[in-house]
Structure 1
Amino acid sequence: MEHWFSDLPAFRHDPLGFLMQRGSTATGPFVPLRLAPFPVYLVTDPDLVKPIMKMSEAEIDKGRLIHKLRAIVGKSSLTTSGPGQQERRAALHAQMARGIASSYVPQISALVRGTFAHLLCEEQFDAHRVSAALALRVIANALFGEGVLSKGDETALLHAVKLVEDDLAEGMFRLGPPAPWTWLRNRQRLHAARTIMSAVVQRTRKKAAASSLLASLNGLGLSDRDLEDEVLMILLAGHHTTGSAAAWLLYHIAADPNLAQSLAQEAKRCMDRGGELRASELPTASISLGVVREVLRLYPSAWWFSREVKARRVEIAGHTFRRGTSLLISPWHMHRDVRFWPEPERFDGARPSTSRAYLPFGAGPRACVGLGMAMLELQVIALELAATFNTELRMSMPPGLPRPSITLVPPSIPLALKPRSLGALEVAAE
């Protein structure tokens, strides 16, 4: 018998499989999902995503499925709307654009090289363990400025993020209130994380580099609490999305020696005589860009996002929705639907990413503000890794499906690194 929550057990058991099954068998652009005591619809037509995301905030905006995350990241730009949120997004976007054009490439390259060089001493390592830590260092550098954080501050931030990341992931799947003991545990963890975050932000606020994201946010005159909310949101989002995608990137490079060789050749073409990547070359480095886009197709940074109807009634594609209705959009489903992609489960770095069903960072004016930064980071990782190292896969079977959390967390992927033969690279490039 169907009721308000009749789909909830299947969703909790296998969110990815549930969304794929409901989306791929859809006969219309909207599929009703019985997940909550209010109407929820899965949007299955990619042509409707941008129109939905472009609608005015008075008609459709962030709703209860997003607002519940305020318990973790407060009233950050992830969970709020209006002029204040737009001002924060504009400041972050402007600073990231400047960094992408000037300073981020050498900073990211240095962090990537240092990370991979240390791994030469390990017999093998887990891809996600390494990529998640690397992604956090990269976003911390962009947030505070190169060299601003001490080793102690970096360790403290890592600990603060770990305190709240599991609670944030759990909150994404919980549609009702938590049990009292869960609420108390989460509250204690959040308090500890905020105490750490506040101490680090206050220590670094005045000495943050002028080119940092923190300096841009400082210029908006935010309160201490609002600034800390924004910092925590940036660390969580930048850490998880890029870190998980980077692990899948390492896997596909290790699994395909021909791909690794092609990336090595492209890296050589993009480097100056001193062996440094030239930022001006990266926008036309088609092999690495294609590989990054394909990784994000198969493992999108945001595997679902939602919007809520705010007006009394809203009409979309001939369907009328009442106030309080949630519209769920799943890139995981759209990126793997045979209606939009030939052989969608196959990795193909040369696959065109022009499909209307490609939206790893959302769509329209509310797309992820860090998409350019994430793309750049992944591209630099691919090129720096392939240019200097051979990556060996230490498993006989392909990895299983990711675990849906804040992003798509990879299973264990054991890898090993060996220095690439410079002679072989020279011959291959001729």
Structure 2
Amino acid sequence: MKHLFSDVSAFRRDPLALFEERSSPEAAPLVQLNLGPSPVYLVTDAPLAKTVLRADEATIDKGRLVHKLRTVIGTSSITLSGAEHQRRRAIIHQHLARGIMNDFVPQITGLIRRQASLLICERSFDAHEVTAPLALRMIVALLFGHGALTECDESALMEAVHVAEEEMADSLFRILPRTPWRSFLKRRELRRSRAIMGAVVDRVRGRAKSGTLVQALQALDLSPDDMRDEILLLLLAGHHTTGNAAAWLLYYLATEPGVTERLAAEAEAITDYVGEIDPLRLPKAETSLRVAREVLRLYPPFYWFSREIRTPQEIAGLKLKPGTSLIISPWQLQRDARYWCDPAAFRLDRAYNTPAFMPFGLGPRACVGIGLGLLELQLLALELSASCSVEILSNVPADKPTPQITLLPPHIELRLRPRVPMRRQHVA
């Protein structure tokens, strides 16, 4: 029997299955989910989801579900709205756009090559155990400069993030409150994790080099706490966005016949005479871009977004009152047979100019690191394929990811082997 909390158990058990179940081809554009006393609707129609994500924040904005993230990332641009959100976003966007065209490519490829040289010596490795710290090193290098994060800082930050993410996922749509003692222990654990993350951020910030994103953020004249929160957000978002997707990218390099050969040929075509990828040729590297987009279609790092109605309005024939939450699931929309042919398959012949493709969100509150995330995945595909073969040692197909705040990949055991490089001998 349906009641105010009748979908909570299913959501906590397997939100991916719940979203898929409620979004059949016959489903209404808005499907009510019984997740508590406040109304919640799943947006199953892609054009409507696009409209919601691009709505003026005076009518539809971030709401209480997004604000729960403040327990970990505080008052940062992901939890802010209005002029302050736009001010911070503009600085970050400007720096990332400039770096993608000029400075980031050699920094990222250098980190990938060093990681690959170590992995070739290993008998096997778990994909996510490698890609998560690699993604963290990438974002740290772009934020603070190369070498700012020590191995000790890296381990502490990864563990603290894991604790915080588990707590955020567990707190969403909890039916029964914890016992006072259990609640006390969890709050203390979360405070400790946040303190560890903050201490690491402070240390790394002190090592920042000139010309980095942290230097650009100084222009915002933020308080020490707000600066820490903004840096922490960039670390967490950059780490998870690329780290999770990169594990799946390696999986498909190992399991899709012919893909690494195509990528190796593409890497050769855009490499200059000293063996470095030319950033100006990357936008025309169609195969690697398609590989990155297809991975993000199948496994979007953030599998649902939340928006909240701020003014009374009618959407899809329903009259919605302020406080109503709208959930949009890229996982559901990007695997919906109404918008994709053979949606569960990895294919490089797809068109992505569709409202059903939104791994980073859409509109004025989309992830500011869209370009950077695609660049990192593109370079990982090109660099590894140019120098290595990737072998799968675990189950095919792989198990489903674990939904927390992001989609955590399952165990994917791989092996790298060097191969004869395809790159031509260039003449200066």
> Smaller-chain TM-score range?
over 0.9
**TM-score normalised by the chain length of structure 1:** 0.93
Query: Is the contact made by 1:26 and 1:44 (CA closer than 8 Å) also made in structure 2?
Result: no
**Counterpart-to-counterpart distance in 1, 2:351 and 2:393:** 30
SS in 2 for 1:306: strand
**Counterpart-to-counterpart distance in 2, 1:122 and 1:231:** 33
Counterpart position of 1:316 = 315
Counterpart position of 1:390 = 389
Bigger shift: residues 52-61 or 287-296: 52-61
Query: Is the contact made by 1:291 and 1:350 (CA closer than 8 Å) also made in structure 2?
Result: no
Return the offset for 1:284: 0.9
**Counterpart-to-counterpart distance in 2, 1:27 and 1:202:** 49
Counterpart position of 1:10 = 10
Give the fraction of aligned pairs with identical amino acids, expressed as a percent: 49
Counterpart position of 2:119 = 119
The one-letter code matched in structure 2 to 1:217 is L
Counterpart position of 1:417 = 416
1:354 matched to 2:350 = no
**Counterpart-to-counterpart distance in 2, 1:324 and 1:65:** 11
Query: Is the contact made by 2:169 and 2:405 (CA closer than 8 Å) also made in structure 1?
Result: yes
Bigger shift: residues 67-76 or 199-208: 199-208
**Counterpart-to-counterpart distance in 1, 2:27 and 2:412:** 38
Query: Is the contact made by 1:197 and 1:228 (CA closer than 8 Å) also made in structure 2?
Result: no
Q: 1:425 to 1:143 in 2, by over 3 A?
A: closer
**Counterpart-to-counterpart distance in 2, 1:94 and 1:265:** 32
Return the offset for 1:171: 3.4
Query: Is the contact made by 1:266 and 1:287 (CA closer than 8 Å) also made in structure 2?
Result: yes
**What is the correspondence of 1:282-321 to structure 2 with a 5 Å cutoff?**
282-311=282-311, 313-321=312-320
Return the offset for 1:152: 4.4
Query: Is the contact made by 2:255 and 2:392 (CA closer than 8 Å) also made in structure 1?
Result: yes
Counterpart position of 1:48 = 48
Q: 1:30 to 1:262 in 2, by over 3 A?
A: same
Counterpart position of 2:98 = 98
How many pairs were matched up? 425
SS in 2 for 1:135: helix
Return the offset for 1:26: 4.3
The one-letter code matched in structure 2 to 1:331 is P
**Counterpart-to-counterpart distance in 2, 1:366 and 1:421:** 44
Bigger shift: residues 132-141 or 200-209: 200-209
- Unpaired runs of 5+ residues, structure 2, are none
**Counterpart-to-counterpart distance in 2, 1:173 and 1:421:** 53
**1:337-372, Cα deviation, whole Å (9 max, x unpaired):** 111111101110221112221111111111111111
Query: Is the contact made by 2:266 and 2:285 (CA closer than 8 Å) also made in structure 1?
Result: yes
Q: 1:134 to 1:284 in 2, by over 3 A?
A: same
**Counterpart-to-counterpart distance in 2, 1:12 and 1:388:** 42
**1:377-419, Cα deviation, whole Å (9 max, x unpaired):** 0000000000010111113531111111222211111100111
Bigger shift: residues 21-30 or 353-362: 21-30
**Counterpart-to-counterpart distance in 2, 1:12 and 1:206:** 40
Query: Is the contact made by 1:24 and 1:333 (CA closer than 8 Å) also made in structure 2?
Result: no
Q: 1:6 to 1:410 in 2, by over 3 A?
A: same
Counterpart position of 1:238 = 238
**TM-score normalised by the chain length of structure 2:** 0.94
**What is the correspondence of 1:328-339 to structure 2 with a 5 Å cutoff?**
328-339=327-338
**Counterpart-to-counterpart distance in 2, 1:314 and 1:116:** 53
**What is the correspondence of 1:95-174 to structure 2 with a 5 Å cutoff?**
95-172=95-172, 174=174
Query: Is the contact made by 2:58 and 2:310 (CA closer than 8 Å) also made in structure 1?
Result: yes
The one-letter code matched in structure 2 to 1:55 is A
Counterpart position of 1:264 = 264
**Counterpart-to-counterpart distance in 1, 2:78 and 2:197:** 18
**Counterpart-to-counterpart distance in 1, 2:60 and 2:35:** 20
Return the offset for 1:79: 1.4
**1:48-106, Cα deviation, whole Å (9 max, x unpaired):** 12321222222111111111121111111111212112111111111111111111111
